[in-house]
Amino acid sequence: MRRNVFRALLPLMALPLMVACPFKQEKDDTEKDILTLLALPEQMEINGNWHDGFGTHSIQASKTIAGEVSGYWSWGGSGTVLDFSNATRTAYVRTGVPSWCTNSGACECFDAGVCHNRNVWTKSGGTVYFCQIVYNKPTLDEARSDPAAVDATDLASGCNGFAWSTMTPQ
């Protein structure tokens, strides 16, 4: 009789385990989904194709949660995005030496063979504006440390005395 009672109760004793397992699995899946969302790369907020009156910009850059940046900002040639911040609306881009550079010192980066630039953008009234505030530096550190600044509230002359370029989506 004891054996029959045990056999009858065994499925009832296992029931909490069977019920708990699916819930545990759902929790694990939710945690994995959250981790996956956290690991998704941050996209540069101005990714896309633009025209600013001087040329076409093709921008596509992202940053992993670990801070690894990949992407490009092509504008009159190819450019590699080395770093960016959507919070400060700043991107550091490495390019080749512009064709107008000469060995006479027209560009600091002539001897380096690559140039580093700091591009910034702002938004006003739903429109995106662009300014290349630092350009043709031989190293990324020099582009980062250059004291040049912009005034995002002055669209007429806040870009080193020049007007900000209006970015039109293409």
DSSP string of 141-160, one letter each residue: HHHHH------TT-TTTTBT
State the Cα–Cα distance between residues 133 and 129, nearest whole angstrom.
Answer: 12
Place of tokens 């056999």: 7
Spatial CA neighbour of 79 closest among 108, 122, 118, 123: 118
pLDDT tens-digit series, residues 37-69: 556 899 999 999 999 988 999 999 999 999 999
User: Are residue 11 and residue 92 in the same domain, yes or no?
Assistant: no
Q: 69 and 139: one domain?
A: yes
The answer to whether residues 58 and 32 belong to one domain is no
Q: Could you tell me if 110 and 135 lie in one domain?
A: yes
pTM of this prediction?
Answer: 0.76
Q: Same domain, yes or no, for 26 and 48?
A: no
Q: Do 2 and 55 have their domain in common?
A: no
The domain in which residue 111 lies consists of 42-169
32 and 55: one domain?
Answer: no
- Please give the C-alpha separations between residue 32 and each of 12, 37, 61, in angstroms, as whole numbers: 31, 9, 25
